[in-house]
Structure 1
Amino acid sequence: MFDKKLLRNLDTITIIIVVILVSVGIVAISSATHVHETGDYWAVKRQIMWFVAGLIAMVVVMSIDYNTLGNLSVYMYFFSLLLLVAVLIPGVGVVRNGARSWFDIKVSLIQPAEFIKIIMIITFSKHIEKIKESNESDINSIKNLCTLVAHMALPIFLILKQPDWGTAAVFIGIMIVILFIAGISYKYIVAAFATSAAVLPLLFFFVMKEYQRERLLVFWDPNRDPLGRGYHVIQSKIAIGSGQLYGKGLFHGTQTHLGYLPEQHTDFIFSVIGEELGFIWSSIIIILFVILLLRFLYLATLAKEDFGSYIIIGITAMIFFHILINIGMTMGLAPVTGIPLPFISYGGSSLLTNMMAIGLVLNVAMRRQKINF
């Protein structure tokens, strides 16, 4: 399947770090979902199943030259929009936690927006490459910049209709980071932040629904609704703080096992780690994430062309914003959203997407210009 020259460029450091993170996640999930009376490890079994599926998907993605994927970018883009429209149709899309973001495929719920992040990274990167290769090579021209913004604005709009503000924020972050690396003028960045500062109050008062506004208000003051919307953050902070340096030990977290910590195997898995494994293991996990992201940035510098580099940068941004938002919300530093912690939170769509993202990074790295014999 792979040429020997390509396998010599396989980045084993990335693979090792990902396997460690997934393993820690499986251990944390086993504690968060274990039923002592029956010994039922249902979530662990499913997560392992999704990890195996993710490994297969990673190998498949690695085997297809990323330039071939780039040549299919137009078809991939419109297929993504079709999925995002379909999930909004009652009876087709499934509502969960107030958002119509899921397809029910019987064996599991699938969130299409997760996979579409990968597709948009490929298509957006290819769009920038085409602009730079054309006669109008300046991405800072108004025409080119408008087409690039529109490229991401369409899927973001459809995701906001679900509504899923957390995922939409990740898409925006991916777009900004890739544009920054591609050489967008600072004046546009400043203008974008200034516009956002002016528009955000309007969004808050006239666009957001009541529960979304309340979620932001509770972010600033969880004690505003300690038994309602602030409950998640309060219990999460108690769990993390009570773990102290070494933790209470696996299967011994009181917040986790007495049912105080909500969504403990998905959105708040880092709270379980903080309570049961303590500050040391929590820090190790963050350090592993930092090493992984720095490794991505290094591999991006080795890509043989800008297209490959943009792909890796986009995936780096995607994983970074997931880490930032998820860990931030468990500590009360970010609003509570349905953003999972990459490789660690329970969830088929998330794990499968992240494994495909790793496959894409390895794909670009394996096909870099320099071959080490």
Structure 2
Amino acid sequence: MYSSRKGRRRRREWVLWGVPLAMVAVAGLLIASTQRQANYADWYHHWITAGAGVLIALVLERLPLNRLKPLLIPIYGLTLISLVAVKVIGTTALGAQRWISIGGVNVQPSEFAKIAAILLVAAVLSRHPVERPVDLMRPLGVISIPWLLVFIQPDLGTSLVFGALMLTMLYWSGMPIEWVVLLLSPLLTALFAGLLPWGMAIWIPLMALLAYRSLPWKRLAATVTVLVHGSMAFVTPWLWMHGLKDYQRDRLVLFLDPSKDPLGGGYHLLQSTVGIGSGGLFGTGLMQGQLTKLRFIPEQHTDFIFSALGEETGFIGCILVVVGFTLLMARLLQVARHARSDFEALVVIGIGTMIMFQVVVNIFMTIGLGPVTGIPLPFLSYGRSAMVVNFIALGLCLSVVRQSRGLSPGRR
């Protein structure tokens, strides 16, 4: 009985390995297609980087995560130093300073910062679960520093990833869902302040009532909630004008109607949706997409790789990719539920959130349902740092699987 169950678990690892590798294989061909008219052809670097990532994942699979705990603070510290170094000696491209050139290779520290933050937040929450509002100070303190350093690069997309994984990890650690809503609510207040000012007359009292009912020191909690939301509504116009770059404001607005600036900020979205739509049900075939061949879509090998997928593999190819990511997330949830410790479960949940948040935001962006944020599509978008980080994340999850197999059925 136990041996057959163990055999089934072994077969399931085809999901953790098979989905990423299949996507890497297809992505290499899509990237080659986007560069048919380019003066260089480095599409094969995507596969080379993935090969290096596989080796890293195989090493991490055999390393129990508990052995990493003494290294978490040094890893986190080195990550912060690298993020600061980006502002001092970083390489600028596309209006942002996000890379450090090492031996002629551009490394993006913000990608590695996501893994470092997940590991340290998981360690903090496993040791100090959030049982009182004051307990939030530790995990929020850990996440806020890399978030701020990434935001000022500026990299709005990656900074959103930090927020998403923080909220999910807090909820998985046992924090009440009402507290999660209260943490997320200032962002919605900012949206109301910019889009529907009258909505704040309902939204802010509703959040105050939620704080009164779910937090200790009820009157004080409700009062502080009203003050926080009122302050957010007051400073939102200033943050909109001075906290964001011009192109970031365009990206956040033009997705609602990209035709307002078809040759400027809305160009990416318009061309991306045209490319996906032109693929029809079965697509034009790999290496046969005309919009991809003629490079109508900027940055198609990175942020907009899904548009190449839609044009050349059609609706069927897009659905297969979505199903693949769904299977991957479902398996990660299984791994988290069967992890032998809270620390390992939180690491897996943080990684799953990191991957799926990027998947949802990137796909929504390319089909015109969300703003252009510069978030890559995991395993498909070209990018050395992102690819290595994705396989590091995979290796950590595989380590949790390997360690959970060592538990007897009774201890499960």
With structure 2 as the length reference, what TM-score do the two structures score?
0.82
Paired with 1:7 and 1:126, the residues of 2 have a C-alpha distance of 31
Which of 113, 118, 122 aligns to 1:121? It is 118
Paired with 1:15 and 1:270, the residues of 2 have a C-alpha distance of 21
- Partners of 1:43 and 1:346 within 8 A in 2: no
Paired with 1:260 and 1:13, the residues of 2 have a C-alpha distance of 34
- Post-superposition shift, 1:288? 0.6
Deviation string, structure 1 residues 197-239 (Cα, Å, up to 9, x no partner): 2345403244223222122121211011100110000000000
Q: Does 1:19 align with 2:56?
A: no
Q: Does 1:52 align with 2:51?
A: yes
Distance 1:276 1:318, change over 3 A: same
Q: Which residue of 2 aligns with 1:300?
A: 336
Q: Which residue of 1 aligns with 2:279?
A: 243
Q: Which residue of 1 aligns with 2:381?
A: 345
Paired with 2:162 and 2:370, the residues of 1 have a C-alpha distance of 17
Distance 1:360 1:7, change over 3 A: farther
- Post-superposition shift, 1:7? 11
Distance 1:8 1:85, change over 3 A: farther
Paired with 2:90 and 2:54, the residues of 1 have a C-alpha distance of 27
- The one-letter code sitting in structure 2 at the alignment partner of 1:155 is P
- Post-superposition shift, 1:106? 3.6
Deviates more, 1:9-18 or 1:243-252: 9-18
Q: Which residue of 1 aligns with 2:95?
A: 98
Q: Which residue of 1 aligns with 2:407?
A: 370
- The one-letter code sitting in structure 2 at the alignment partner of 1:347 is G
- Post-superposition shift, 1:196? 1.9
Deviation string, structure 1 residues 61-111 (Cα, Å, up to 9, x no partner): 22322111123212222121111111111xx11111111110112442111
Deviates more, 1:237-246 or 1:58-67: 58-67
Q: What are the residue-to-residue correspondences of 1:282-321 with 2, within 5 Å? A: 282-321=318-357
Distance 1:197 1:13, change over 3 A: closer
SS where residue 88 of structure 1 aligns? helix
Q: Does 1:157 align with 2:154?
A: no
Q: What are the residue-to-residue correspondences of 1:194-343 with 2, within 5 Å? A: 194-200=185-191, 201=194, 202=236, 203-343=239-379
- The one-letter code sitting in structure 2 at the alignment partner of 1:173 is A
- Partners of 1:218 and 1:229 within 8 A in 2: yes
Q: Which residue of 2 aligns with 1:87?
A: 86
Q: Which residue of 2 aligns with 1:64?
A: 63
- The one-letter code sitting in structure 2 at the alignment partner of 1:28 is L
Paired with 2:7 and 2:386, the residues of 1 have a C-alpha distance of 27
Runs of 4+ in 1 over 3 A off after TM superposition: 6-10
- The one-letter code sitting in structure 2 at the alignment partner of 1:25 is A
- Partners of 1:9 and 1:366 within 8 A in 2: no
- Structure 1 gap ranges (5+): 1-5, 133-138
SS where residue 97 of structure 2 aligns? strand
- Post-superposition shift, 1:276? 0.9
- The one-letter code sitting in structure 1 at the alignment partner of 2:61 is M
- Post-superposition shift, 1:340? 0.9
Deviation string, structure 1 residues 220-268 (Cα, Å, up to 9, x no partner): 1101110011000000000000101011112221211122111111111
SS where residue 109 of structure 1 aligns? strand
* Identity among equivalent pairs (%): 36
Deviation string, structure 1 residues 336-357 (Cα, Å, up to 9, x no partner): 1221111111111111110111
- Partners of 1:244 and 1:278 within 8 A in 2: yes
With structure 1 as the length reference, what TM-score do the two structures score?
0.91
- Post-superposition shift, 1:149? 1.0
- Post-superposition shift, 1:161? 0.9
- The one-letter code sitting in structure 2 at the alignment partner of 1:338 is G
SS where residue 370 of structure 2 aligns? coil
Q: Which residue of 2 aligns with 1:177?
A: 168
Paired with 2:305 and 2:254, the residues of 1 have a C-alpha distance of 21
Deviates more, 1:226-235 or 1:243-252: 243-252
- Partners of 2:24 and 2:47 within 8 A in 1: no
- The one-letter code sitting in structure 2 at the alignment partner of 1:49 is I
Paired with 2:285 and 2:177, the residues of 1 have a C-alpha distance of 49
- Partners of 1:9 and 1:371 within 8 A in 2: no
Query: RMSD of the TM alignment (CA)?
Result: 2.0
- The one-letter code sitting in structure 2 at the alignment partner of 1:217 is V
- The one-letter code sitting in structure 2 at the alignment partner of 1:255 is L
- Post-superposition shift, 1:118? 1.0
- Structure 2 gap ranges (5+): 1-5, 195-235
- Post-superposition shift, 1:43? 2.3
Deviates more, 1:333-342 or 1:70-79: 70-79
Q: Which has the larger radius of gyration?
A: 2
- Partners of 1:7 and 1:366 within 8 A in 2: no
Q: What are the residue-to-residue correspondences of 1:181-192 with 2, within 5 Å? A: 181-192=172-183
- Partners of 1:240 and 1:278 within 8 A in 2: yes
Deviates more, 1:196-205 or 1:233-242: 196-205
Paired with 2:9 and 2:105, the residues of 1 have a C-alpha distance of 35
SS where residue 27 of structure 1 aligns? helix
SS where residue 235 of structure 1 aligns? helix
Paired with 1:290 and 1:12, the residues of 2 have a C-alpha distance of 14
Paired with 2:253 and 2:187, the residues of 1 have a C-alpha distance of 19
- The one-letter code sitting in structure 2 at the alignment partner of 1:61 is L
